[in-house]
Amino acid sequence: MTLSLFRFVSVPLALSMLLSACSEAPKAPAAPPPPEVTVMQPKQQTLQDEDEYVGRFVAINTVEVRARVSGYLENVNFRDGSRVKQGDLLFSIDRRPFQNTLDQARANLAQALSNRDYAEQDFARAQQLVRDKTITEQALDQRLQSLRNAKASVEANQAQVKQAELDLQFTELRAPLDGRIGDRRVSPGNLVTGGAAGGTSLLATIVTQDPIHFEFTLDESAYLRYKRLMGAPLDQATAVASDLAVSLKLIDEASFTHQGHIDFIDNVIDRSTGTMRIRAAFANSDDVFTPGMFARIKIPASKPYTALLVPDEAIGSEQVRKVVMTVNADNTVVPKYVELGALVNGLRVIRKGLAAEDRVIVNGLVRARPGMKVAPRDAAAVPPAKAQ
């Protein structure tokens, strides 16, 4: 009887002890909160695509100063590398032989004029004698021929005088235009060779610098793209009508600060290179640009459009594709593959794959995985010290 009571009492006691032990077991840990990320909507900005090309400056006008008459160089009347004005005296050739030739030509002309006057008077007397039947018609014709020869001699000597005057004038070589002259190629005392044929002596070179041309080339695909952009053949008329402004920077400059415009487009594509020559004009009042200098030029490549821009650090790579992480309406991370454009003021242009209302993760990308929940915070609400 006693044993049965013990068994009856021990079973409830064991159950009570077991329940007490279970109630004292540790609880399971709570789920961690979703990671916090900073998001922003793409910035919208009106942009225009631009292409860059490398080219070099060329002078609008280049003149080689060459001797037009032969003689000994007497004087050099400029400083090497200086600016010259049109009409400035540059070189002087010994003029004495040419002055003598001119004096002789003038004397020959005076003699021819005297012969012409005598022939005119003789012909007038012969006409009266023919009327009086004193001389024959043949004698009159002879005097007429003498008069005609005398007049032709006058004209020939007049031409010789003009040529001698030109030769004397050519002993002074003057600047044909405003510009900067190079160094002298011949020193005073040397014999220079002139004339209209080849082999004449080169004395110096003058180039214009303000304004100045900049030449570059573009390939056939770029030509077709610009042609379709303008909606007409890409030629000088359409370029001028469209006011195709361009900008330029030198090799030591960070931005395209020099403004110019296209003033010439070639009419053929070079068969050997498949490129077309383009020329732009730039003001050069401060003489920064020099013919032969290299620079980079930027020209419009599209019509203005509204672009979406995001910080460059928000863009990741997945093999060959570019991806940005976005947060949808229920705070889930959604990757979007995008096509990138140019970098503008630290922001990257997104050409395709992103909408204006998308929320792009710009901070906390290491904590965001596709399909996971996150706690987004607007970048505009994040204090500057915390925003990255």
Domain stop point among 137, 170, 203: 170
pLDDT at 12: 52
pLDDT at 1: 45
Say which residues have a Cβ less than 8 Å from residue 344's Cβ, sequence separation at least 6: 45, 47, 307, 309
Cα angle, residue 256 at apex, residues 255 and 261 outer, rounded to 5°: 180
User: Which residues span the domain enclosing 227?
Assistant: 51-59+215-300
pLDDT at 232: 55
pLDDT at 381: 65
pLDDT at 289: 93
276 and 314, same domain (yes or no): no
291 and 353, same domain (yes or no): no
pLDDT tens sequence for the chain (388 residues) = 444 444 444 555 554 554 455 555 566 566 778 888 899 999 999 888 888 999 999 999 999 999 999 999 999 999 999 999 999 999 999 999 999 999 999 999 999 999 999 999 988 888 888 887 777 888 888 889 999 999 999 999 999 999 999 999 999 999 999 999 999 999 999 999 988 767 889 999 999 988 999 999 999 888 888 777 766 555 554 444 345 788 999 999 888 999 999 888 888 888 898 899 999 999 998 889 999 999 999 988 878 888 899 998 888 888 888 999 999 989 999 999 999 988 888 899 998 889 989 999 988 888 888 888 888 888 876 655 444 4
336 and 284, same domain (yes or no): no
Task: Examine residue 71 and state whether it is found in any structural domain, yes or no.
Answer: no
pLDDT at 136: 82
Task: Examine residue 188 and state whether it is found in any structural domain, yes or no.
Answer: no
Task: Examine residue 116 and state whether it is found in any structural domain, yes or no.
Answer: yes
Domain stop point among 270, 300, 330: 300
The total domain count for the chain is 3
Task: Examine residue 275 and state whether it is found in any structural domain, yes or no.
Answer: yes
CATH of the domain at 292: 2.40.30.170
CATH of the domain at 130: 1.10.287
312 and 238, same domain (yes or no): no
Domain stop point among 300, 322, 339: 300
pLDDT at 6: 42
Task: Examine residue 338 and state whether it is found in any structural domain, yes or no.
Answer: yes
292 and 352, same domain (yes or no): no
Task: Examine residue 198 and state whether it is found in any structural domain, yes or no.
Answer: no
Task: Examine residue 178 and state whether it is found in any structural domain, yes or no.
Answer: no
276 and 331, same domain (yes or no): no
CATH of the domain at 360: 2.40.420.20
